[in-house]
Structure 1
């Protein structure tokens, strides 16, 4: 969080005169740098419980929001979007990094044997919806002029926008995003079939020999179409703790991925006589996680893959296409927003399609700011590794233990009854609080584990 150039002298002076400035700074440091915390009114009371009689004993600890330096309990917003809260997005990125890394080399409750299992990194792209401004390269990797005749620089705002917006298939682009999640689910089914076929097994028998695990993240291309990056791993029948069969190799897995992605499709709606069907684009990149052929010569190591996927876990459509990072309430809002014309047309198309009764289940108006995409940005199979929830719980438990130790409280042998009641009282920080948050280092255990 960036500190405001001019400190709010009046508010800070009042806090200093009341003697609450140090205590407020301690409370704010527990937010981990969050710029948009949730403010809550209420209380929390802990009672000791007698295990022999079940009788509720005296109060062990009582917290009332009115006694806190900020006058309310402040809870980090935990928004994954970097455009909404940089600090919470960084925590989310770190957690995603460790989740992906655990599935590649073990740790966090995942067996270290996964490091020896066949693993590949795959990128699945969207199909084309019309020519767009781009930076094509020749066989030597040198950038050539775009179809428009210009040689665009990497940060050119027109990259990814249609050469001819009037002929670009905006309807298909929005519907592709809306069906991308369903296409991935069907692909995962097809992939298991293809792996089983190459192993000479039936689908039913495959379950007794191996298990396919994955973790993926969705990324928006500049044209506003979603594509997926995925780590895919072959394990033994019980997951990462069991060795895969001898026939399980990275080459077999990569070949099965190519075969499954080439044939999988999902049917879309029929609109004005046009029947939609969606499949992945022709560009498919599958690489074994072991070589030195990733990202222009850098090694395709566990660390590189985890960092690459985690980077996109905090980005949404707004980062790539210049669209919104929050839902629309009314279409009229578009006229007052500073977004690209391409994003505006994608949103308008999603909003228009959302009015059709036959597309009600797609909830396109709710997801118009996401250009129709309604899936989770990062997902994984159950046995891939730990969960984001488990990482958050471990961090919360660590902070709780540290706080109890600091207060000299030992509750290992106690059973407690917790009574609490909290009411939403708003979001954000006062100018003085914001200035302090930007000045403070986050308290230990609030910002997620560091990454290498």
Structure 2
């Protein structure tokens, strides 16, 4: 948080904005600060305060994205090899408790009242069921030399193939075999992982798998816990492969046999019991006008015939009444499952795994090939466009406006719904179907929120500075939760600064002030750490930021 009221002499005025932004990035300063006007209702004074944008994408704000990545690294490290149990809360028990429900009821939350077959799919192998232990920490093993180990797992799950893609040459019987297109591609070829024949590539299935990938992950965790016999905790990151299909990197506390993990992945599936949505029946693709809202019936109707479109509940009732009905889609994982065992005292392996786990958190799914479409290879751009065309029109939830393209009224729809224009971010080119969180963390991983982890990092830095006689800014000094002394009303009123406000500083002025403050603060922090190393002050906690950029962003 930066108070921009008292700038002093700005020494960067003569430099262009892009140079100042580059300097801000170098010093870990947010390049898109959000300006707010803060009024103190007790004193009547006001000031303009800049707050970091908090973006998680490097393409928008590299310093904020890096700060988020390092915060996630700390969160992952703190919970991965934990050897003590957390005190469970009611929420933990609700989330983690195995209700022993059928492996696939096939019912979404909104259609739980409809009865589905509890029989597992015949094409999915059965899984062993073992007694469930309520522990969340891994098992300890003792080596012949008496040393004890508590290993954990690093897993990678992928989705199935949707068609042949360009690949590097590979050896078969000692002979170098080219890609199926007949070309020996180089490792830096831009066509790698793009479809060999886009016309036969199953883009619809790829889009559906991306839209419902999180449900498959939920099923995998549920099955893994049932087979492992304990409430395995996890820190997982969803990332795109070069073919633009999502895959999962997962740090799991504790270990289970490698073959059992492969069995669980092969047996895990999620059935989507939604109305059929194979082909749109309205919209530009069909030549038929979109459904319209009828004020008299308060329902959507066919614009040509005036016939009422079925509601979401009616469509589900029809599906439940059909004995030959099949799920609209089935999400499965591919055969490629990577498994690595990691022990806590192998600091190099732990650090490398955490770095790999969080490496691409700052990139959007749609930025896999780069953040500038003009620089993409035609094959990459075509692959991206084709996948996005399917993601745009497929429904992402029961309330998705895209259901109107398929002749079904979305759940709880009203006259404000625009057919085919769902505002869910899963349909964006940036997300390509993955509208949920990129980082998935079980509740009992550390028992802390991101805010708690951020406060831990700031507290370590505060103590280090305090030992050197430097007082750190109070991050809660202007909190909206502070109240006045007489009537318990909020003391500080925050309002956004509007473009064109006469007293608003320019972006260059805000950045220049923040850079100056950051450089001065970093010097003080380095001096404080040096005093600790020299023994002239109490030692600092090395679990926090270990480099200057990280320390700066943590504050």
Tell me if TM exceeds 0.5: yes
Instruction: Provide the rounded CA distance (Å) in 1 between the counterparts of 2:473 and 2:199.
Output: 69
Per-residue deviation, 1:308? 0.8
SS of structure 2 residue aligned to 1:88: helix
1:205 match = none
Alpha-carbon distance in 1 for matches of 2:29, 2:84: 25
Match of 1:185 among 218, 225, 231: 218
Find 1:342's aligned residue among 383, 408, 427: 383
Aligned residue-pair number? 361
Q: How does 1:279-290 map to 2 (within 5 A)?
A: 279-290=332-343
- Please give the per-residue CA displacement for 1:46-88, whole angstroms capped at 9, x wherever unaligned: x8xxxxxxxxxxx7xx8722xxxxxx31111111111111111
Written as runs of structure 1 = structure 2, the 5 A alignment for 1:129-144 is 129-135=162-168, 137-138=170-171
Bigger CA drift: 341-350 or 417-426?
Answer: 417-426
Change (3 A) 1:73 1:260: same
Structure 1: 5+ residue runs without aligned partners?
A: 1-14, 48-58, 66-71, 197-209, 235-249, 292-297, 326-337
CA contact under 8 A between 2:387 and 2:432: conserved in structure 1? yes
Shift of 1:151: 2.6
What CA deviation, in whole Å up to 9, does each residue of 1:395-430 have, x standing for no partner? Answer: 455678869963999x9xxx9746221122369962
User: Could you tell me whether the CA contact under 8 Å between 1:130 and 1:168 is conserved in 2?
Assistant: yes
2:46 aligned partner: 64
TM-score (norm 1): 0.66
Change (3 A) 1:304 1:287: same
Q: Which of these residues, 271, 288, 309, is aligned with residue 277 of structure 2?
A: 271
In the alignment, structure 1 residue 430 sits paired with structure 2 residue 507: yes
SS of 2:180 mapped into structure 1: coil
What does residue range 23-422 of structure 1 map to in structure 2 within 5 Å? 32-44=28-40, 64-65=46-47, 72-106=48-82, 116-135=149-168, 137-138=170-171, 145-196=178-229, 210-234=230-254, 250=255, 252-268=256-272, 269=274, 270-272=276-278, 275-290=328-343, 301-322=349-370, 340-354=381-395, 355-357=402-404, 366-368=425-427, 369=429, 370-385=431-446, 386-395=448-457, 406=471, 417=483, 419-422=491-494
**Greater share of residues in helix:** 1
Give the 3 Å change call, closer, same or farther, for CA 188–300 of structure 1 in structure 2.
Answer: farther
- Alpha-carbon offset, residue 302 of structure 1: 1.1
CA displacement at 1:339 relative to structure 2:
7.9
Distance 1:63 1:140 in 2: 80
Separation (CA, whole Å) in 2 of partners of 1:168 and 1:137: 22
Q: Give the distance between the partners of 1:396 and 1:108, measured in 2 at CA.
A: 25
Give unpaired runs (5+ residues) of structure 2. Answer: 14-19, 88-136, 141-148, 280-325, 374-378, 396-401, 412-420, 484-489, 500-504, 526-543, 551-555
Give the stretch that moved more between structures: 214-223 or 392-401.
392-401
Between Structure 1 and Structure 2, whose CA radius of gyration is higher?
2
- Aligned 8 A contact 2:59 2:371 in 1: no
| Distance 1:36-1:145 versus aligned 2 partners, 3 A rule | farther
Q: Please, what is the CA RMSD of the aligned residues?
A: 4.6
Assess if the C-alpha contact under 8 Å between 2:166 and 2:195 holds in 1: yes
Distance in 2 separating the partners of 1:365 and 1:300? 40
SS of 1:211 mapped into structure 2: coil
Deviations 1:282-323 (A, max 9, x none): 1111121149xxxxxx99721111111121222221331447
Q: TM-score, normalised by structure 2?
A: 0.55
Equivalent position SS for 1:279: strand
What's the secondary structure of 1:311's corresponding residue? coil
